[in-house]
Structure 1
Amino acid sequence: MSGINQPDRNDVWILDENDKPLTITEDPKIPNAATIMMKKQDHTMGNMIRAQLLLDPSVLFAGYKVPHPLENDILIKIQTDERSNPADALKRACTLLIQQLTEVKRQFSQQAQRIEMGLAPENIAPLASQTGAGVGAAAYDPYGDGMGMGGATQGQDVYDF
């Protein structure tokens, strides 16, 4: 049962028949820049795409925002150098994300099967080193500490405090 003002869950995430999933609008004032409106998406998708775009050496700027908290649409702003254009950069980023997520799914399924068979899970090397996914994916440091571990030292598990 939903609240009085709460929309139906399907209406929040499922596109209507006439809705375009995304719209690309070129910026007339900035060269090689565009704004992409993605319908029925949220911070999860926006942040993943932004992070992947920033790994592309031809991307000069990538950012996203949710224009209104009650609407599940995101705006992604991309500016590239002369080697590329925003639409191509977005296609590359999405292709690499799909490859990475497919690999995560494969590894998860493999580990789940091992557990179902009563075997101990294997140690899995970091995704970027196995797939080589993304330009600079292995060098990406989301925590800015030089090791990508949020302050953990060499050999220390991220969850060791």
Structure 2
Amino acid sequence: MNAPDRFELFILGPDEKKCAETADTRTPNSSVFTFKKEDHTLGNMVRAALLKDQHVTFAGYKDFELRIQTDGKVTPKEALVNACKSLVSDLETLSREFTKEYELRKIVGDATADQ
């Protein structure tokens, strides 16, 4: 009864930003990105995509503060943008292949039901 509405868990308020970058002064070529109203699902996917980048020397997150360190050839922000673009591409492929497989199974199921 006193619990917040479920949409408040993922809808940003009027003055909230989804992501903010803070330079990490303790290590070179590092930034900390703070994501609002996201969870481990996105955190783990982004971290994994970042670790595929040859210029990323470290990527890790905790409570969805994502720390990225690069070799200096790209900025942490550029590495994050590239990882997100890669993830979107992978998810588009997954969606396309899943839909294709679903439609094929539906056709096969319809054909066997007619027999």
Matched, 1:103 2:100: no
Structure-2 residue corresponding to 1:94: 84
Supply the distance in 2 between the matched residues of 1:43 and 1:18 (Cα, whole angstroms).
24
2:25 is the alignment partner of 1:32: no
Unaligned runs of 5+ in 2: 110-115
Q: Does the alignment pair 1:61 with 2:61?
A: no
Alignment of 1:81-160 (within 5 A): 81-118=71-108
Q: Could you say what secondary structure the match of 2:94 adopts?
A: helix
In structure 1, stretches of 5+ residues that fail to align are: 67-73, 120-161
Name 2:113's counterpart in structure 1: none
Aligned counterparts of 1:113 and 1:17: Cα–Cα separation in 2: 41
- Number of residue pairs matched by the alignment: 109
Aligned Cα root-mean-square deviation (Å): 1.2
1:16 aligns with 2:10: no
- Alpha-carbon distance between aligned partners in 2 of 1:115 and 1:29, rounded to the nearest angstrom: 54
The one-letter code sitting in structure 2 at the alignment partner of 1:48 is M
CA offsets, 1:106-153, max 9 Å, x none? 01111111122126xxxxxxxxxxxxxxxxxxxxxxxxxxxxxxxxxx
Aligned residue for 2:68, secondary structure, equals strand
| CA distance in structure 2 between the partners assigned to 1:85 and 1:30 by the alignment | 13
Superposed displacement of residue 29, structure 1 = 2.0
Matches of 2:12 and 2:90, distance apart in 1: 25
Q: Larger relative contact order (C-alpha < 8 A, sep ≥ 6)? A: 2
Length-normalised TM-score, structure 2: 0.90
Higher strand share: 2
Runs of 4+ in 1 over 4 A off after TM superposition: none
- SS of equivalent to 2:108: coil
**Of Structure 1 and Structure 2, which has the larger fraction of its residues in helix?**
2
